[in-house]
Amino acid sequence: MQVREQIVSGQTAIGIEFGSTRIKAVLIGSDFAPIASGVHDWSNQLENGIWTYSEAEIRSGLQSCFADLMRNTEQQYGVKLTTAGSIGISAMMHGYLAFDADMNLLVPFRTWRNTITKDAAEQLTDAFSFNIPQRWSIAHLYQAILNKEAHVGSIRHFTTLAGFVHWLLTGKKVLGIGDASGMFPIDPDTKSYDAGMCAKFDALTQDSALNAKLLELLPEIVPAGENAGTLTEAGAKLLDPTGTFTAGVPFCAPEGDAQTGMAATNSITPRTGNVSAGTSIFAMAVLERNLKALHREIDIVTTPEGAPVAMVHCNNCSSDLDAWVKMFGGLLKAAGAELTKPQLYDLLYGLAAEGDPDCSGIISYNYYSGEEITHLQAGKPMLMRDPESQFTVQNLMRSLVYSCMATLKIGMDILAEESVGLDRIYAHGGLFKTPLITQPTLAAVLGTDVTLMQSAGEGGAWGIALLAAYLNRSDRSESLRAYLQNRVFADQQQQTVSPKQADSEGLNVYMKKYSEGLAAEHAAVAQSNRGE
């Protein structure tokens, strides 16, 4: 009855996150626990060499996900979902959505997965003395300028996926500071776009077809905990075409999936960090000091409050592992032993835990797409093994799990050399739904304790719901870090594992062979490109 009353009276918050493989909505109550959820599965498409999701898919996926949330809420509690206390939108960071003066999309959405901006990223990094990765929005914009693409002269606004969905629902061209930090560098003192770098970009593009200053094109940054707009009548109709859910609900600033991961794991204070793993994998380490040097493998972004964070982002994580699991599932089905998806993963992860710590020389490269850290412009999944390798399903599965984190380890080793201190690392995301092998492997990769919270499986949709709930806090002076620590996570159950010596030693052997074999991966990609 208490939950029903909260739903009817709008004492709730809704978080909606657009992930790589699904859109998820979470409804939370006054105790921050999920009340109901909704999902919509989708996938990116490679069209004309560009990884993208269509504008129609973005709209229809939003509606499908929200309809599922409304349906599940009514089925569970016997009341219709007509309003909420607040809403937040999150999505995959970076990428490129460019619009004209009437907010018409000028070119198909270019996602974070694309590695087509090498020249722009390198030139901007040199100009700014600040690492600009290929997937950042500003790299995509500058590459379009360098390519003299026809749409450049018509650009009046560009943003991220979260920013676009937020605009669809509220009419506001805004972002949270974390998502904004994946578009363009942030000045940690002003908590806004770096003015000096903006001026340098304007100087670089003054003779181009771009006929506007950069700050005129970027979304406005709205701080965490401040109102970033309300659900319009048009937005409500888009969200719920049945008209059941009403307009007027306030929104927090839209944020990136990295920031919702930080919120969902209470890791926004210095010396804390988290690892999010699904289709991609990335680690966030909240810094207590600036890095000593510029590293092309390390991004500098921010927490939802604007504090600097070192980010190791890898485009590739579970896609190749998932493909192998699907293949094994097909084999079992053909043999008359069909398993559900959770049963299949539990079985294979259990076998991976029994594999040799060094995988007996079986090395897997999980590259479905390019990877900046290992300097690959495209991907080609590949499996290598020594003739004397023990080619068992246990060793193969363990190698596939290692492969999900191998590139991450290369980047995290750089932070270790920089003496970046971390008191705790939290893990979350789909890879850790069955933590039997993945959590100990991550502990070995990072060389530190790894903690899974009770809420680890909730993911970014829950994280943005928490940021939406923070919008309605009673004490307006309460900081986000205090809000999370004292209200949301005060009684959270958690499970911590420490690195095992055998796992660490085996992983080091694996990584040596992995690094030596990267030349073969590069050659395979180069040969494919020549074949095209």
Are 373 and 426 contained in the same domain?
A: no
Give the 3-state secondary structure of residue 227. Answer: coil
The number of helix segments (H) and strand segments (E) in the chain equals 17, 22
Are 400 and 444 contained in the same domain?
A: no
Are 339 and 473 contained in the same domain?
A: no
Assess if residue 383 is contained within a domain: yes
Assess if residue 436 is contained within a domain: yes
Which pLDDT score is estimated for 455?
Answer: 64
Assess if residue 445 is contained within a domain: yes
Contact 108, 273 (CB under 8 A): no
Average pLDDT over residues 498-504: 95
β-partners of residue 91 are 18, 256
Which pLDDT score is estimated for 458?
Answer: 65
Read off the CATH number of the domain in which 274 is found. 3.30.420.40
Assess if residue 249 is contained within a domain: no
* Contacts of 507-516 spanning 24+ positions with Cβ under 8 A: 507/357, 507/358, 507/402, 507/409, 507/441, 507/444, 507/445, 509/357, 509/358, 510/358, 510/359, 510/363, 510/399, 510/402, 510/406, 511/406, 511/409, 513/361, 513/363, 514/363, 514/365, 514/402, 514/406, 515/410
Assess if residue 357 is contained within a domain: yes
Which pLDDT score is estimated for 530?
Answer: 67
Assess if residue 233 is contained within a domain: no
Assess if residue 53 is contained within a domain: no
Each residue's pLDDT tens digit, 189-235: 999 999 999 999 999 999 999 999 999 999 999 999 999 999 999 99
Are 286 and 330 contained in the same domain?
A: no
pLDDT at 492 over 80: no
Which pLDDT score is estimated for 456?
Answer: 56
Query: Which tokens sit at 284?
Result: 């966030």
Are 299 and 327 contained in the same domain?
A: no
Are 295 and 272 contained in the same domain?
A: yes
**Structurally, how many domains does the chain consist of?**
2
Average pLDDT over residues 100-112: 97
pLDDT at 424 over 60: yes
Are 424 and 396 contained in the same domain?
A: no
Are 280 and 399 contained in the same domain?
A: no
Are 419 and 443 contained in the same domain?
A: yes
Structural domain of residue 376, as residue ranges?
A: 319-407+501-525
Contact 133, 139 (CB under 8 A): yes
Assess if residue 514 is contained within a domain: yes
Are 359 and 401 contained in the same domain?
A: yes
Rounded Cα gap, residues 417 and 421, in angstroms: 10
Q: How confident is the model at residue 430 (pLDDT cuts 50, 70, 90)?
A: confident
Each residue's pLDDT tens digit, 49-78: 999 999 999 999 999 999 999 999 999 999
pLDDT at 464 over 80: yes
Are 326 and 311 contained in the same domain?
A: no
Mean pLDDT of the chain: 94
Are 287 and 435 contained in the same domain?
A: yes
Each residue's pLDDT tens digit, 119-131: 999 999 999 999 9
